[in-house]
Structure 1
Amino acid sequence: MTMPNQVIFIDDEAHIRMAASQTLELADISVACFENAEAALQKLPADFPGVVVCDIKMPRMNGLAFLEKALSLDRDLPIILVTGHGDIAMAVGAMREGAYDFLEKPYSPDTLTEVVRRALDKRRLTLENRTLRQELEAQSVPGPRIIGRTPAMQRLRLLIRQVADTAADVLILGETGTGKELVARSLHEYSRRRNGNFVAVNCGAVPEQLIESELFGHEAGAFTGARSKRIGKLEHSSGGTLFLDEIESMPLPLQVRMLRSLQERNVERLGSNQPIAIDLRVVAATKVDLREAADQGEFREDLYYRLNVVTLDIPPLRERREDIPLLFQHFALVASARYEKEIPALSTQQVPILLAHTWPGNVRELRNLAERYVLLGENCGYDLERLMPGAGNVGAMNLKEQVEQFEKSLIEQALNRCRGNISEATEALGIPRKTLHDKVRKYGLDRRQFRT
């Protein structure tokens, strides 16, 4: 695995680029060198996790022009300018315009490394604070919550934030019960379409002879039994979001008509020749590989490509077991409030039962168990094995895996209660501080995520 570049170094002189590259690489700082500012600007990604070192005097776009353009993309990006002896006043002025620091030629390798390290520390803190603000803003927005601390779920939430307010159609992939409609609703609620309709259609639940009328609507008298005009789901979702669940179940002949409506963004009701303009965002969901279905002639390839602008992949619950206790607790608390029943907290003896189960029904199955725990738990002493037949089957994980999952869950719970405070968590768990540090590293935990 290659590290992402931490430094973009811009200088029009090859020997200076080579020397700087060697200096930074020897200090374990990855670097990408460019001979002109235009090329570097084109390769500068959004939320670049590193810093930029740029010479001031260069042909075409000089360092000051680069500074202005780069800061217009990200005002917090640390940019270190390199200047000759006679340009110090110019560099000081540039710092007032937002440059992080400047280096005067000739500079020593140690000076370059020190300034870059300080800038990287500042950049790291800036991005951490930015991410925290985004998470807090997302949690304060009314609407669905996507719960989970695993890297896969963090990536999913990030992708949702990135694409929610765009016009791009989205294809959601996930097994039954993973929460595809929840993701679709999140895309809708976090977009500017949130005030429009969110219209959900399960293509597999509507009878084939009715689905065309359901989607496109009909005029009075369009067919036997059509006594009055009906607005279809596509037209009803104009200004909002149309969610097509189980899109793989849509009949092939109807896929042709759906493709045309999505491409032209208009719809014709059955029995009418008048196209009606629609403004909608389509989110489709499937539990099968549509690419494979298209290859086998079971799904139209052109519709697949039309829907597959952005793909969001939801991992099954068995691939994010660390989230299981957190999800169960959430669902149990929601059910407890709904049914007005007090319940005991999940005990440390119950966690391994949840972790060992294979969860073929994914989050939906876990939510159902949490509701049974609230409604029926008192009758069986809140025994999960009685509420969930087969929960004692530990074949999904060997003993070592079960112990590690259990240990990781206990550490997460302690860090959560102590809001990431290592000293308090050490005392709560009754283990030495070094042992806790070692286990936090072993399980890839970041105590900062437990501070809020």
Structure 2
Amino acid sequence: MPTEDTLPIWLVDDDPDVRESLSQWLEVSDLAVRTFDAATPALEALRDDAPCGVLVSDVKMPGMDGLALLDAVQALEAPPPVVLITGHGDVPMAVSAMQAGCWDFVEKPFAPERLEECVRRALRQRRLALENARLRDALREGDLAGRLLGQAPAMVALRRQIATLAPVRANVLVQGETGSGKEVVARCLHDFGPGSDAPFVALNCGALAPELIESELFGHEKGAFTGAHGRRLGKLEHASGGTLFLDEVESLPLSAQVKLLRALQEGEITPLGSNAVRPVALRVVAAAKTDLPVLAREGRFREDLYYRLAITELRLPPLRERREDIAALFGHFCRQAAAVHERDAPEVSATLFQALERQPWPGNLRQLRNAATRFVLGLEIPGLEDGEEAEHGSLNAQLAAFESALLRATLGRHAGNIQAVMEELELPRRTLNQKMLRHGLRREAFLAPEDREPPGPNEA
């Protein structure tokens, strides 16, 4: 993130003598300066996200003048403060410029100190605005880390993708196995997006009878079919302005796929039994546990609907591909279950962690949460192998596996508190660091969500 010291002042003036004298004065005042001889190249550079602290522009210029440049800059996502300079200004022009978003209005002739003071005040405001934006992004990423737990590379990348996609109302296709957290991803896209105040509507397409799907999606009027005793609002209309989450979208019958495609293309629906067209505007997050392009090639899913839904795609890794997160996830689910059932969270042994990490977890997070709940309640975890009996391999391999599991258990028990881990295991800090590095363990993976600090701009 640029700071006040690194953000340059952009100076736009068609007079080369004015550009040279003002840029020299500002540079002598320890301010970086970038000059432009016309408004158009400056605007193009801004649209390319070139760093700009304050835009200083003359008003009277050939082609695009300063007032037109001001209007164009205000339409950008994060416009810099604009200071306008003119020798032909009057009160109405100044008022008009300020109302259009101008930071300040300087009339020629002026003392260079006046411009410098104005620029420095605007630069401080710019720095504050950028810092607030950075903090909002960091908070958003930190909150995502609290919802989508895990430090496996695939999870870090997934959180970054969600943070990028959430502000955009593009449709998203989420691919993942049962229980991998597809609805959590959909809710994150909604909650951190521009329609977060509007409804989030979830529909499991695989749980509906085929004859009811169109009514659920598009709604119906009274008497539209047998049993339609009153008007019903469809899910698309109910979610308008917000997000519609279609789980198991591959289960939609082809007839419903056709109507859904048209609704998304046209931005309107017609409820069953009605001739009235109703507008809808929403983001659709579709989830599938099978490969939709394969189904499209087989004629079981419309290819055009796939392209409409998959403006972008997210893949959720199954739990077996992120085994380094299992210990932290199991500990988190144990703490949740203990709070719900008003129990003390029992200690997780290194042997149990070894057994947990070897399981295939076909039910993914849902199955792991179930196992944690049973553990907290003192019940047997179905299908869990005994760690000692199931261990195979050389002595070194078994010792390494035990050491890894013991470290995970201790880090999980102390929620990533390194000092407490050092004291319990009687290890110096350097030795503990070496062992954690050897086993690919990171302290951050074991912190409670509320204790995680938002990552910096260059951190994972």
TM-score, scaled relative to structure 2: 0.64
Q: Would you say 1:174 and 2:176 are equivalent positions? A: yes
Tell me if structure 2 keeps the 8 A contact 1:171–1:311. yes
Decide which of 149, 155, 158 is 1:156's aligned counterpart.
158
Structure-2 separation of matches of 1:407 and 1:39: 57
1:211 is displaced (CA, Å) by 1.1
1:173 is displaced (CA, Å) by 0.9
Deviates more, 1:423-432 or 1:286-295: 423-432
Structure-1 separation of matches of 2:437 and 2:135: 22
Structure-2 separation of matches of 1:406 and 1:227: 60
Structure-1 separation of matches of 2:134 and 2:383: 40
Tell me if structure 1 keeps the 8 A contact 2:350–2:402. no
Q: Would you say 1:430 and 2:426 are equivalent positions? A: yes
Partner of 2:220: 218
Q: Which aligned pairs between 1:370-381 and structure 2 lie closer than 5 A?
A: 370-377=372-379
* Amino acid in the other structure paired with 2:183: E
Partner of 1:314: 316
1:174 is displaced (CA, Å) by 0.5
Partner of 1:406: 405
Structure-1 separation of matches of 2:134 and 2:157: 15
Decide which of 364, 367, 376 is 1:365's aligned counterpart.
367
Structure-1 separation of matches of 2:238 and 2:452: 43
Larger relative contact order (CA 8 Å, sep ≥ 6): 2
Aligned partner of residue 204 in structure 1, secondary structure: helix
Q: Which aligned pairs between 1:71-110 and structure 2 lie closer than 5 A?
A: none
Tell me if structure 1 keeps the 8 A contact 2:244–2:282. yes
> Unaligned stretches of 5+ in structure 1?
1-6, 8-35, 46-50, 53-64, 76-89, 100-124, 381-385
- Cα distance change of structure 1 residues 451 and 184 upon mapping to structure 2, 3 Å threshold: closer
1:415 is displaced (CA, Å) by 7.8
Tell me if structure 1 keeps the 8 A contact 2:176–2:315. yes
* Amino acid in the other structure paired with 1:269: P
Structure-2 separation of matches of 1:330 and 1:281: 31
- Cα distance change of structure 1 residues 127 and 166 upon mapping to structure 2, 3 Å threshold: closer
> Unaligned stretches of 5+ in structure 2?
1-5, 7-40, 53-68, 81-114, 125-130, 454-460
1:93 is displaced (CA, Å) by 11
Q: Which aligned pairs between 1:270-281 and structure 2 lie closer than 5 A?
A: 270-281=272-283
Structure-2 separation of matches of 1:188 and 1:241: 6
1:92 is displaced (CA, Å) by 12
Structure-1 separation of matches of 2:425 and 2:136: 32
Q: Which aligned pairs between 1:283-298 and structure 2 lie closer than 5 A?
A: 283-298=285-300
Structure-2 separation of matches of 1:331 and 1:444: 19
* Amino acid in the other structure paired with 1:436: L
Structure-1 separation of matches of 2:186 and 2:434: 39
Tell me if structure 1 keeps the 8 A contact 2:355–2:385. no
Tell me if structure 2 keeps the 8 A contact 1:352–1:402. yes
Tell me if structure 2 keeps the 8 A contact 1:217–1:231. yes
1:433 is displaced (CA, Å) by 3.5
Structure-2 separation of matches of 1:231 and 1:223: 15
1:301 is displaced (CA, Å) by 1.0
- Deviation per residue, 1:115-172 (Å, 9 max, x gap): xxxxxxxxxx999978654445657xxxx82222223222222322332232111111
Partner of 1:199: 201
- Cα distance change of structure 1 residues 228 and 131 upon mapping to structure 2, 3 Å threshold: closer
- Cα distance change of structure 1 residues 414 and 363 upon mapping to structure 2, 3 Å threshold: closer
Structure-2 separation of matches of 1:451 and 1:246: 33
1:430 is displaced (CA, Å) by 2.9
Structure-2 separation of matches of 1:440 and 1:94: 50
User: Sequence identity of aligned pairs in percent?
Assistant: 43
Aligned partner of residue 311 in structure 1, secondary structure: strand
Structure-2 separation of matches of 1:210 and 1:218: 10
- Cα distance change of structure 1 residues 256 and 391 upon mapping to structure 2, 3 Å threshold: farther
* Amino acid in the other structure paired with 2:257: Q
Aligned partner of residue 338 in structure 2, secondary structure: helix
* Amino acid in the other structure paired with 1:280: L
Instruction: Select the structure of larger CA radius of gyration.
Output: 2
- Deviation per residue, 1:234-272 (Å, 9 max, x gap): 122223221100001111121110001011121111121
Q: Which aligned pairs between 1:42-81 and structure 2 lie closer than 5 A?
A: none
Aligned partner of residue 167 in structure 1, secondary structure: coil
Decide which of 244, 250, 256 is 1:242's aligned counterpart.
244
Structure-1 separation of matches of 2:298 and 2:277: 33
Tell me if structure 2 keeps the 8 A contact 1:414–1:428. no
Partner of 1:324: 326
* Amino acid in the other structure paired with 1:371: T
1:425 is displaced (CA, Å) by 4.6
1:366 is displaced (CA, Å) by 0.6
- Deviation per residue, 1:389-418 (Å, 9 max, x gap): 4565669xx957845752662575488442
CA RMSD of aligned residues (A): 4.9
1:439 is displaced (CA, Å) by 3.8
Partner of 2:271: 269
Tell me if structure 1 keeps the 8 A contact 2:348–2:413. no
* Amino acid in the other structure paired with 1:219: E
Structure-1 separation of matches of 2:133 and 2:279: 42
* Amino acid in the other structure paired with 2:251: S
Tell me if structure 1 keeps the 8 A contact 2:269–2:279. yes
- Deviation per residue, 1:175-199 (Å, 9 max, x gap): 1110111111222223343333222
1:284 is displaced (CA, Å) by 0.5
The alignment covers a number of residue pairs equal to: 371
